[in-house]
Amino acid sequence: MSKMRAVFMGEHQLRAGWRLIIFLAFVLPLGYGAGKIVDSLNAKLHAATGTPWDIGMVMGIFACAIFAATGIMAKIEGRSFADYGLPWRRAFCRQFWQGAAISFASLSILLLVIHLAGGFSFDALGLHGAEILKFGILWAFAGFVGALLEDFTYRGYLLFTLTTGLGFWPAAILTSLLMGGMHYLNPGGHGLGPVAAFLYCMATCVVIRRTGDLWMALGIHSAWNWGEIFFYGIPDSGFPSQGHLLVTRLHGPTWLTGGPFGAEAGWPSIALLIIWIIFFSLWLRGVRYPNQAALEKRSPMWTAGFKLGRSDI
Band (pLDDT 50/70/90 cuts) for residue 48 is confident
Output the pTM of the full model. 0.92
pLDDT at 310: 42
Closest CA to 154 of 77, 214, 244: 214
Give yes or no for residue 11 having a pLDDT over 90. Answer: no
What's the pLDDT tens digit per position in 156-209? 999 999 999 999 999 999 999 999 999 999 999 889 999 999 999 999 999 999
122: three-class secondary structure by DSSP? strand
Average pLDDT of span 289-311: 67
What pLDDT is attached to residue 303? 57
* Packed helices 94-116 and 267-283: angle between N→C axes, nearest 10 degrees: 150
Q: Who contacts 27 (Cβ-Cβ below 8 Å, separation ≥6)?
A: 65, 66, 69
Contact between 227 and 105 (Cβ < 8 Å): no
Q: Quick check: 201 and 176 in contact, CB under 8 A?
A: yes
Tens of pLDDT, residue by residue over 51-84, are: 999 999 999 999 999 999 999 999 999 999 999 9
Contact 149, 69 (CB under 8 A): no
What is the distance between the alpha carbons of residues 251 and 234, in angstroms, rounded to a whole number? 11
Residue type, 237: S
Range scoring the smallest mean pLDDT among 35-49, 122-136, 242-256 = 35-49
* Integer Cα distance of 168 and 171 in angstroms: 5
The DSSP code sequence of 13-26 is SB-HHHHHHHHHHH
